[in-house]
Amino acid sequence: MTASTVRPDLEDLRGRVAGVVTGQDEPGYDAARAVWNGMIDRRPWAVVRAAGVGDVTETIRFAREAGLDLAVRGGGHNVAGHGTVDDGVVLDLGELHDVAVNPSARTVRVEAGATLADVDAATEPHGLVVPIGVVSGTGIAGLTLGGGLGWLTRPYGLSADNLVMVELGTADGDTLTASETEHPDLCWALHGGGGNFGVATSFTFRAHAHGPRLFTGSLLYRPDRWRAAWAALQEWTRDLPDPMTTITTTLTPPPVAELGDQPLLVVGFAWASPDRATGEALVSRLRRLAPPDEEQVGETRWTEWQSAFDPLLPKGVRAYWRNTSFDRLDDEVIDILCRRGTEQVWPGTAFDVHHLGGAFARVPESATPFPNRAARFWLNIYGFWDEPSDDTARIAFVRGFSDDMAPFATGGQYINFQGQEPSGHRGFDPQAVFGPTKYRRLLDVKRRYDPDNLFHVNHNIA
């Protein structure tokens, strides 16, 4: 930001907003500045906990006038730590978490500070669902603005693919609504282009009839069966019907008796259809192709399934992630996945292979900024550990694995699965993420809606 000649005044800011403002070293400051990634230790000048849309626009104006960097926070889960900033203002939307369901129109309006748990809790009683991510404390805002992958990506697409309207605080401190008919160019950019264009105050989604109970499960494989399991997935995922989504995780489990201490490959699946018999038949086919060592399969309440993986990634762990698309599970790729899988420790690293296609792939490539709708698989390599002394080794593992996969990448990266790159290292490259055509289009929108790059604490389109 350009330095302001006026020294910012905390009492001035307090006088302008209704929400709580916490300054450096005031009571509650450490809790107010903390984000999910424990490696991100930034000291903002102030944290504003917005009490309404008026606080959002007023804080935008204040940061602009004072020449302070502005970080915007929804759920605080951004892996690169973009929900906070040194010496600037954090605009925390956590108090704004209402979710209003319109069952007859099948739409859901979500305030921008809501978590995924808030959304699922509100939609489930209506037999509806919005496709979102898999860890319930994640913020709907960062998730949706980047894309939003989860257990319902194949039947219904990304969270962003179901987004019909965004209410936004703009760079000049005003408000607007972006939809297909109002500011359509901005609306396009908000479907995967991240937090570059304004502060979203609410999102309106299309919802789908759903559950509340779902056929879900995990097939577990020990390392000596991994090759067979990956090869079976290559085959099995070729012609699956849309309702079947899988996320295959390889991790070394925590040292609890029932799982032992060997690394595991876990094929997780969710079958989003009331036709349980077809779902059962599909899973039986996978069992025949690669018999698992163990399994946990059955009907689960959707909200239980959506929080089943929460304990794996609690707030405060240190984290560094990278991701890539790829198209084949042949011998060369399987070699890498098997070798890297057995090198993992607990707590340290894990990786997920999201199997795509279905509704995700039917969205035309140019319809959103999200890259590479043709990708068959998306790999997310995620480091998560407790001790600062492990930083170097864990980061090196994630980078090494990601470099191994580079020859097989089919294009694009997912901003929401990107960690913070230390300065001097190959950092966020918007052309590599979005591709040159979409990057140029995003740049055009950025120039129109935020020409001074006020919103730059994000995966920045500068």
CB 146 within 8 A of CB 194: yes
Q: Closest approach of Cβ 225 to ligand FAD, in Å?
A: 26
Q: Which residue in 411, 407, 340 sits closest to 377, CA to CA?
A: 411
Strands 294-301 and 244-251 turn out to be: unpaired
CA distances from 365 to 178, 305, 339, 434 (A): 20, 30, 33, 11
Binding site for ligand FAD (CB under 6 A): 35-36, 72-79, 82-83, 93, 112, 133-135, 138-139, 141-143, 145-150, 194-195, 199-200, 313, 416, 457-458
**What is the CB-side half-sphere exposure of residue 89 using CA atoms within 13 A?**
29
Task: Please say which residue, 199 or 445, places its beta carbon nearer to ligand FAD.
Answer: 199
Task: Please say which residue, 268 or 341, places its beta carbon nearer to ligand FAD.
Answer: 268
Residues ≥6 apart with Cβ < 8 Å to 64:
70, 171, 172, 173, 454
Q: Closest approach of Cβ 154 to ligand FAD, in Å?
A: 14
Task: Please say which residue, 292 or 412, places its beta carbon nearer to ligand FAD.
Answer: 412
Task: Please say which residue, 78 or 402, places its beta carbon nearer to ligand FAD.
Answer: 78
Task: Please say which residue, 50 or 334, places its beta carbon nearer to ligand FAD.
Answer: 50
Task: Please say which residue, 226 or 271, places its beta carbon nearer to ligand FAD.
Answer: 271
Q: Closest approach of Cβ 169 to ligand FAD, in Å?
A: 8
- 387 beta partners: none
Report the C-alpha gap between 174 and 454 in whole angstroms.
Answer: 14
Buried b (16+ CB within 10 A) or exposed e, 158-173: bbbbbbebbbbbbbeb
Q: Closest approach of Cβ 276 to ligand FAD, in Å?
A: 25
Report the C-alpha gap between 278 and 283 in whole angstroms.
Answer: 9
Task: Please say which residue, 137 or 274, places its beta carbon nearer to ligand FAD.
Answer: 137
Residues ≥6 apart with Cβ < 8 Å to 11:
none
Give the residue closest to ligand FAD by C-beta: 142
Report the C-alpha gap between 97 and 21 in whole angstroms.
Answer: 18
Query: What is the sign of the dihedral through the CA atoms of 85, 322, 446 and 462?
Result: positive
Report the C-alpha gap between 384 and 395 in whole angstroms.
Answer: 10
Q: Closest approach of Cβ 456 to ligand FAD, in Å?
A: 9
Task: Please say which residue, 193 or 211, places its beta carbon nearer to ligand FAD.
Answer: 193
Q: Closest approach of Cβ 267 to ligand FAD, in Å?
A: 16
Q: Closest approach of Cβ 66 to ligand FAD, in Å?
A: 19
Q: Closest approach of Cβ 179 to ligand FAD, in Å?
A: 16
